[in-house]
Amino acid sequence: MMLGAAASALLLTSVGTPAALAQSTANQVALVDYVNPLMGTDSSYRLSYGNTYPAVAVPFGMNSWTPVTGEPGSGWGYTYDGEKISGIKQTHQPSPWMNDYAAFALMAETGPVKVKQEERGSWFSHKAEVARPYSYKVYLADYDVTAEVAPTTRAAQFRFTFPESDDAHILLDGLAGGSMVKVDVKNRRITGYVRNNHGGVPDNFHNYFVAEFDRDFTLARTWAGDNAPANELAREGDHVGAVLSFKTKKDDKVHVRVASSFISPEQALRNLRTEIGNDSFDTTKAKAKAEWEKELSRIRVTDPDAEKIRTFYSALYRMLQFPRIFYEKDANGKIVHYSPYDGKVHDGYMFTDNGFWDTWRAVFPFFALMYPERDSQFMQGLVNTYKQGGWLPEWASPGYRNVMIGSNSANLIADAYFNGVRGFDVETLYEAMIKNATTSEGRPKDKAGKVIAAVGREGAEYYNRLGYVPYDVGINENAARTLEYATADFSIAQLAKLLGKDADAKKYTERALNYRKLYDKESGWIRGRNQDGSWSTPFNPYKWGDAFTEGNALHYSWAVMQDVHGLMDLMGGREKFVERLDAIFTTPPIFDESYYGQVIHEIREMQIVDMGQYAHGNQPIQHMPYLYNWAGAPWKTQHHVRDIMAKLYSSAPDGYPGDEDNGQTSAWYVFSALGFYPVASATGEYAIGSPLFQKAELTMPNGKTLTINAKNNSDANIYLQSVALGGKPLSKTYFTHRALSQGGTVDFVMGAKPNKQWGTAPADAPFSISAPSK
């Protein structure tokens, strides 16, 4: 990708130094070097600008590595305002709200040994920190040490550059939660395991690790808890670690090769030999860079604004981290996995660290479009989960976790199959979807014996009898559950049609209209309803939580992706619908937080961005700007999606509008920047928005190229004047999956004023259950 001189200068200023880009030509930069892994790290419990950490990994890697600035055990392991680094840890954390599991850390020191995390931290500066997806480098000022790490899927290489010292040390910290270390001095090796987790694991859960060093130790010690290191070569307990000492000259480098396994110590060593072998640090780094470049180069964007390009590829990098690989390869190269559901080792694929409440919306549709082979593997992993645990995972980390609502697994399964993803046991997954929709009995329990309500459908029996989950039966967030169950029912119906299950298709299509039972004509909003049919009172549409999940009635009333036309009819037709959409952006951001007893970060993120009641920082309303396409006002979609991209996203540490959430908030940006978005699952349609770039070239899975041109595109020219697909004018306000996957050319012509004639006819609108046949 070629950039002008000004853009190239800006890129070097913001992305990295000339040395960091040494492999690039004067005017051409590797796509991966546009990525800023620090995007979204300027976050806290009170306010999220992403709640991310700089993940050093390969795409979908089993392990990531990240520097640690936070307190021991904190979900906020790295934040941009942190002042000290206490280690670089292997992490599997999908979100600070889920916290981490199977983590351990390495740290380098000089002088007296400090084992406590809060004491050993070294001051550092972002000016002496280089974060890349494929490597991380930082200067630990208190010890005059430079620490570096480069990843593989299940292993990593460290390089520590020391000053002259008689007391140079490398610590391996097993962290609290159950750990063991054993030092093999002869083979310059540490082996052991860690068991730390925050749920979702069987009793026999272990992450086994091996760390091999490239030079002899002058001293090897271990420690337990807060005790000083002792001359013992093995320790086991709640929190143990090892410290290896060296005598170094100035600029001496100590290399450590590390790998891990959820299966066995032998498998950890196999992973090390297979993925690193005799490679140098620089070779591992180059291989990781090449893996990222291969994936990112599937989409090449062209634009004079380098910041837009940085933001795009930084978001794409986040999308390609989850769900995380949870399988390994045995001595014969066969794919096997330790199951976080039954604690046994099985053949086949397994993935984890994903919340479908977030990612069904755009992340998995992206996989279906651009990564159908990988999506097939994800589906195979879901088959294995169902067989081993008896239920589909709605939030896995690494096994079932009791977080969020819905049975959104149905959406991503049906969407994959509808869009041509094959190679998995769809009948078994259909059986699992029907089980979710049929009963809430027999769901898994946590270690305290409490039912994991996030699995299956809480209140399924009420929903199936009444058509909604009642407000007054002790099930919280009941209106949100009803809406999400109706959306999942639509997905079941769509898959049933494809599988020839006509009776089921009819039944679940009817259930997909259950949202109507919670639409209150008097208030004009979706509302909680009691078991006897009366409305819940008092009703405040600005009240967050209660009948809804991390939102209010103004957000959830639009969560009818499967039947926007039907919702529009309830609201009084196209003109009224547009007025209601407009009002979301103009109504002041007033709120009622009483359900939570505090202003949760999602509320604050809505309040402060000057977009009225629009809460892009959370998922339930992210599709809403595209709904104008159903109502004959697509130019308003174009205005709002460009405004959201410009105001709420950047590649900076505060570059997200709320939790990034396993790629979903990134996926909204990636799709929207390309000019379209998957509002409804299992329809094979993408609502058209306003493309961000002058040109984008997508290499489709079949090898064909999809070229998206946006003539006259600029920050001022955000409105579509015309659209052509394959050279033929298009009046529809959507693209089909089938058309895009065949490659070819999309030609947008952009302008500064809306074309209020394009895409306005009722027949131009995307799919709805209730809409007249196209």
Q: How far is CA 463 from the centre of its chain?
A: 30
Q: Which of 741, 722, 744 is nearest to 733 (CA)?
A: 722
What pLDDT score was predicted for residue 20?
A: 39
Pair of tokens at residue 382: 């879901």
* Residue 332 burial by Cβ neighbours in a 10 Å radius (0-12, 13-18, 19+): exposed
Half-sphere exposure of 71 (CA within 13 A, CB side): 2
Q: How far is CA 440 from the centre of its chain?
A: 28
Q: Are 363 and 416 in contact (CB under 8 A)?
A: no
Tokens 């199936």 map to which residue?
A: 464
Query: Hey, how many other C-beta atoms are within 10 angstroms of the C-beta on 185?
Result: 12
Q: How far apart are CA 501 and CA 13, in angstroms?
A: 58
Number of H helices, E strands in the chain: 20, 35
What pLDDT score was predicted for residue 2?
A: 32
Q: How far apart are CA 329 and CA 762, in angstroms?
A: 53
Question: Going along 306-396, which residue ranges are E strands?
Answer: 324-325, 328-329, 335-338, 345-347, 351-352, 354-355, 395-396
Q: Are 488 and 406 in contact (CB under 8 A)?
A: yes
Q: Which residues pair with 543 in a beta bridge?
A: 592
Q: What residues have CB less than 8 Å from 482, skipping those under 6 apart? A: 463, 467, 468, 469, 514, 515, 517, 518
What pLDDT score was predicted for residue 226?
A: 86
Q: Are 468 and 520 in contact (CB under 8 A)?
A: no
Q: How far apart are CA 315 and CA 332, in angstroms?
A: 36
Q: Which residues pair with 339 in a beta bridge?
A: none
Question: Going along 675-743, which residue ranges are E strands?
Answer: 676-677, 685-688, 695-699, 705-711, 719-725, 728-729, 734-736
Tokens 């599709």 map to which residue?
A: 623
Q: Which of 530, 699, 554, 696 is nearest to 618 (CA)?
A: 554
Predicted confidence (pLDDT) per residue in 330-366, tens digit: 999 999 999 999 999 999 999 999 999 999 999 999 9
Q: How far apart are CA 69 and CA 91, in angstroms?
A: 14
Q: Residue 287, SS3?
A: helix
Q: Which of 696, 729, 693 is nearest to 713 (CA)?
A: 693
Let me know the angle formed at the C-alpha of 613 by 457 and 559, rounded to the nearest 5 degrees: 30
Predicted confidence (pLDDT) per residue in 227-276, tens digit: 999 999 999 999 999 999 999 999 999 999 999 999 999 999 999 999 99
Q: Residue 397, SS3?
A: coil
pTM above 0.85, yes or no: yes
What pLDDT score was predicted for residue 774?
A: 59
Q: How far apart are CA 748 and CA 729, in angstroms?
A: 10
DSSP states of 111-139: SS---SHHHH-EE--GGGEEEETTEEEEE
What pLDDT score was predicted for residue 72?
A: 86
Q: Are 671 and 686 in contact (CB under 8 A)?
A: yes
Q: What is the CA radius of gyration of the chain?
A: 26
Q: Are 229 and 367 in contact (CB under 8 A)?
A: no
pLDDT along the chain (774 residues), means of 10: 34 38 52 98 96 98 98 94 98 97 98 96 98 98 98 98 98 98 98 98 98 98 94 97 98 98 98 98 98 98 96 98 98 98 98 98 98 98 98 98 96 98 98 97 93 97 98 98 98 98 98 98 97 97 98 98 98 98 98 97 98 97 98 98 98 98 97 98 98 98 98 98 98 98 98 98 98 75
